Structure 1
Amino acid sequence: MWTLLLLTLPTQPAAVRLRVWRNLKALGSEPLRDGAYLLPSAHDGAFTKIAEEVIEHGGTAFIAEMKPRLKAQDDELNALFDRTAQYTQWFESLQTLRADIKAMTEVDARRRYRTAADSLLAIERIDYLPGEARVQANTELASLKRDIDTMFSAGEPNPHQGEIPVRSLAKFQGKRWATRARPWVDRMACAWLISRFVDQSATFVWLTDIAKVPRGAVGYDFDGAQFTHIGSLVSFEVIVHSFGLQEDPKLKRIAAIVHYLDVGGIPVPEAAGLEWVLAGLRDLHGDDETLIAASNGVFDALYATHVQDSSSGTI
């Protein structure tokens, strides 16, 4: 079943006409002819908002269900929504990225990876009839992520499934916390979170070999660690949830930034700036303890900024 939107756009204002066209394109609707746009019925909700705006400005809009009588006609309509060409173009750009990756820094490689992930997500948003091309694209993206992790961050944890156990703060005081050496965003953020919200007497061990965790140390952000990726959550988010800190709106915002910089997903405006600052700190400080002391100040400032924002109602 298909939904058809028939429009007569107002001649003025021109901004409305442009906005409607852009919204239809962003929605992934396909034109049958001038003024006639199509979507699979299961995804037609956005047509209503577009129609309301057109009518409000003096145009006409009519939404109707449509069912082709012939299979061949239905096949024609399905073909309009075949996104194979977009996936193919995306795949070709990914191969170019894969060929260039060895000459990049870690920051550039991960930034380009997120750009590729965002581009794929944009195609998926309008892929209403997904098929094998979408599966292959996601497989290739995951493969690229593994290659980048292997090249720049050996021991990057693989997410595992399961519930996040609730932990008692009282049982995690004065601990040694161990993670992989040369920390990057997730591990930096975890060290700040631990020292500020979990264990203010924490000391840290930077592992060059995750198989050599000191006896009694609490591991985080590596496979087999007590705190590591679970499902879609990165280690920072897991620690937040483990200690019941998830209702703090400022930590939620920081978690969103860390998540995006670590594994991609929904972009966050502050992410690019934080990434540049942390990359600069890592270039400046070869000693991990000194690096964490410096990055803690950045996260302190970020948290303080959102304290101010939350009081004004913008988080």
Structure 2
Amino acid sequence: MNSLSNSQAWRLLVVSLPTSAATARMRLWRGVKALGAAALRDGVYLLPDLPGLQDALQALAADAAGEDGRVWVLSVYATDMEQESSYRALFDRTSDYATWTQELATARAAIGDADEAELLRLARRYARSLEAIRRIDYFPDAASRRADAHWRDFHGAIDRLLSPGEPQGARGSTPRRDPGQYQGRHWATRRHLWVDRVASAWLILRHIDPHATFLWLEDVRDCPADALGFDFDGATFTHIGDRVTFEVLVSSFGLDEDRALSRIGQMVHALDVGGIPVAEASGFEAVLAGARERLSDDTALLDEIGRVLDSLYAHFARPRLR
């Protein structure tokens, strides 16, 4: 019986496998390690009782049972606050974050000499390794927040190298715009398009102003007075708060209910400023980087990547399978 009114429920996986089941033992070890389970002793593993973990634990139990193992999955509670604290301490990821942060700092110091391909590789590598820690950080605390801050700094430094002049998030709200007032307009942004700018230009053409024309600026100070600037400081449409320009445009023109645009926005956000990883992001980034190597003309780049975004839009718009 739970003796603590607000105690975390826990799951205990107890497994005894035959001596001959070496392969099954290795699968079990890999499985509990992937879940971040705490090994209390050989064959006894503790995890917090969370919805996302129950099916995974049952799958490990079923696999072990299928190898003639003896398996129990038990619900347990701490008997007092001291034991509760000791359980939670088993899942303290402070040292994992510290190791990651030290490695990130070493990489951060050397990025000035890296080429574009290496910068992208580093960004993907450290995003994946941070996400691997987050997945098993069941009780995030100050260490998690510090790691997030280091990641934002690192990602921002890479963005500034890949895309000089990246805007800072402005304060304020996003006013709703009348699409009828934004037809056949001139739109301007920084040349040498990268993730947020190329996606925003595609969004403008496909969903806001199909007769738009674009100016690719060497210097944003040369933006014509009659042009609608986007994705640079002081532009009509740029980062607001933690939202990137693509997300600001979606909200400004009342496109928030479009699920496919929302998914593309999540991808652009993850690539532009970091955040929750999106499965399709690394592939899109690789295609864009390759296209940018091949095409020096931003209009041609928009045309090619626009077709990629058309395909992603169709993919994200598909009805979800139940």
TM over 0.5: yes
Aligned counterpart for 1:229 among listed residues 235, 239, 259: 239
Match of 2:76 in 1: 65
Alignment check: 8 A CA contact 1:173 1:200 kept: yes
1:37 is paired with a residue of what secondary structure?
strand
Q: CA deviation at 1:217?
A: 1.9
Alignment check: 8 A CA contact 2:263 2:316 kept: no
The count of aligned residue pairs is 308
Q: Please, which moves more after superposition, 48-57 or 152-161? A: 48-57
1:26 is paired with a residue of what secondary structure?
helix
Q: 1:124 to 1:176 in 2, by over 3 A?
A: same
Aligned counterpart for 1:156 among listed residues 142, 145, 166: 166
Q: 1:296 to 1:10 in 2, by over 3 A?
A: farther
Alignment check: 8 A CA contact 1:228 1:238 kept: yes
Q: CA deviation at 1:218?
A: 1.3
Match of 1:137 in 2: 147
Alignment check: 8 A CA contact 1:20 1:50 kept: no
Alignment check: 8 A CA contact 1:160 1:229 kept: yes
Report the TM-score when normalising by structure 2: 0.79
1:179 is paired with a residue of what secondary structure?
strand
Match of 2:34 in 1: 26
Q: CA deviation at 1:173?
A: 0.9
Q: Does the alignment pair 1:126 with 2:139?
A: no
Distance 1:196 1:258 in 2: 16
Instruction: Render the CA deviation track for 1:28-53: whole Å, top value 9, x for unaligned.
Output: 2212123332234xx53345324544
Q: CA deviation at 1:295?
A: 2.8
Alignment check: 8 A CA contact 2:199 2:309 kept: no
Q: Which residues of 2 match residues 205-224 of structure 1 at below 5 A?
A: 205-224=215-234
Aligned counterpart for 1:37 among listed residues 34, 45, 59: 45
Alignment check: 8 A CA contact 1:32 1:38 kept: yes
Distance 1:51 1:189 in 2: 40
Alignment check: 8 A CA contact 1:157 1:222 kept: yes
Distance 1:45 1:313 in 2: 22
Alignment check: 8 A CA contact 1:8 1:61 kept: yes
Q: Does the alignment pair 1:303 with 2:300?
A: no
Distance 2:22 2:306 in 1: 45
1:123 is paired with a residue of what secondary structure?
helix
1:166 is paired with a residue of what secondary structure?
coil
Distance 1:145 1:50 in 2: 32
Q: Does the alignment pair 1:204 with 2:214?
A: yes
Q: Please, which moves more after superposition, 98-107 or 206-215? A: 206-215
Instruction: Show structure 1 runs of 5+ residues with no match.
Output: none
Match of 1:291 in 2: 298
Instruction: Render the CA deviation track for 1:83-114: whole Å, top value 9, x for unaligned.
Output: 22212221221122113211212343144124
Q: CA deviation at 1:67?
A: 1.8
Distance 2:216 2:250 in 1: 21
Q: Does the alignment pair 1:243 with 2:248?
A: no
Distance 1:158 1:209 in 2: 17
Aligned counterpart for 1:183 among listed residues 175, 179, 193: 193
Distance 2:314 2:138 in 1: 40
Distance 2:150 2:161 in 1: 16
Q: Which residues of 2 match residues 7-22 of structure 1 at below 5 A?
A: 7-8=14-15, 21-22=29-30
Instruction: Show structure 2 runs of 5+ residues with no match.
Output: 1-6
Distance 2:197 2:145 in 1: 31
Q: Please, which moves more after superposition, 175-184 or 31-40? A: 31-40
Instruction: Render the CA deviation track for 1:234-259: whole Å, top value 9, x for unaligned.
Output: 22232223323344454344434333
| Residue type of the alignment partner of 1:48 | Q
Q: Does the alignment pair 1:281 with 2:291?
A: yes
**What's the Cα RMSD here?**
3.4
